[in-house]
């Protein structure tokens, strides 16, 4: 596998379920991101991790819980979601130089999430 | 707060014509402006970007212009082809953060 991969590609879950989305990057990058893409809305940044440390939390509800165990892997743990959380969840990665200079973001294919 | 406005939301052109998409940003500290293309069912892919120290950048049929004073930037596609049909997103970012703020997207349709 090359680039940024995401699993699963599709997920249907009930409001009481707990599930996790996984992202893996094979680009040697050190920053990773979660975005939410809903119909008729711009891409919304959710979280940013720089060298495994969370540097941005864009006022995301606590029912979304990110985890970044290393620079290549990023998870989004989901619990007690609402139907309005149904969306395409995109992961991205980029290289950060000297801790503050962020380069181009490469996106994964996304996980299409449906909450019933 | 930080905001990026993108217009138009939809654009239809004849093959061979030019297409222009415009974005306005609110954060005067923004210094990096990428454009992403997202084909139906696929991931967004960077097509061109510009930094605040230049006013224009070209890559074959694609060009981006930046007016820092007015806080707006534009994507220009010349000699459009059907394969240019996609959703195009602009974005703005402060250089020392990873926080990209995206515009609402423009659906471009190129008619053969």
A75-89: pLDDT as tens digits = 999 999 999 999 999
Mean pLDDT of all residues belonging to chain B: 94
Q: Average of pLDDT values for A103-112?
A: 93
Q: What count of other Cβ atoms lies within 10 Å of the Cβ of residue A19?
A: 17
Cα(A25)–Cα(A32) distance, integer angstroms: 8
- Do the Cβ atoms of B43 and A33 come within 8 Å? no
Q: Average of pLDDT values for A1-17?
A: 91
Which of residues A112 and A56 earns the better pLDDT score?
A112
Confidence of residue A3 (pLDDT cuts 50, 70, 90): very high
A28 contact partners, CB below 8 Å, separation of at least 6: A95
Tell me if B50 sits within 8 A of B111, measured CB to CB. Answer: no
Confidence of residue B53 (pLDDT cuts 50, 70, 90): confident
A20 contact partners, CB below 8 Å, separation of at least 6: A75, A76, A77, A78
Confidence of residue B25 (pLDDT cuts 50, 70, 90): very high
Mean pLDDT of all residues belonging to chain A: 92
Task: Find where tokens 């996106």 sit.
Answer: A107
Among A102, A108, A109, A111, pick the best mutation site for testing chain B contact (most B Cβ within 10 A). A102
Which of residues A103 and B22 earns the better pLDDT score?
B22
Q: Which helix (H) or strand (E) holds A102?
A: strand A101-102
Task: Return residues 14-53 of B near A (CB < 8 Å).
Answer: 32, 34, 36, 42-46, 49
Q: Average of pLDDT values for A62-85?
A: 95
pLDDT of residue A52: 83
Which of residues A1 and B56 earns the better pLDDT score?
B56
- Do the Cβ atoms of B95 and A102 come within 8 Å? yes
pLDDT at B91 over 60: yes
Confidence of residue A100 (pLDDT cuts 50, 70, 90): low
- Do the Cβ atoms of B49 and A43 come within 8 Å? no
């Amino acid at each position: 596998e090359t680039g940024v991969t995401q699993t699963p590609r599709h997920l249907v879950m009930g409001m009481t379920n707990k599930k996790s989305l996984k992202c893996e990057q094979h680009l040697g990058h050190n920053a990773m991101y979660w975005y939410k893409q809903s119909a008729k809305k711009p891409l919304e940044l959710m979280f940013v991790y720089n060298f495994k440390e969370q540097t941005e939390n864009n006022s995301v509800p606590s029912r979304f819980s990110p985890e970044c165990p290393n620079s290549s892997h990023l998870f989004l743990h989901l619990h007690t979601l609402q139907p309005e959380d149904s969306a395409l969840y995109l992961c991205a990665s980029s290289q950060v130089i000297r801790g503050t200079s962020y380069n181009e973001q490469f996106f994964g294919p996304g996980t299409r999430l449906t909450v019933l | 707060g930080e905001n990026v406005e993108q217009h138009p939301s939809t654009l239809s052109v004849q093959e061979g014509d030019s297409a222009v998409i415009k974005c306005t940003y609110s954060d005067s500290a923004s210094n990096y402006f990428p454009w992403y293309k997202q084909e139906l069912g696929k991931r967004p892919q960077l097509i061109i970007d510009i930094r605040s120290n230049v006013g224009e950048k070209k890559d074959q049929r694609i060009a981006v212009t930046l007016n820092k004073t007015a806080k707006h930037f534009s994507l220009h596609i010349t000699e459009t082809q059907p394969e240019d049909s996609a959703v195009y997103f602009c974005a703005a970012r402060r250089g020392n953060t990873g926080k990209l703020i995206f515009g609402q997207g423009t659906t471009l349709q190129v008619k053969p």
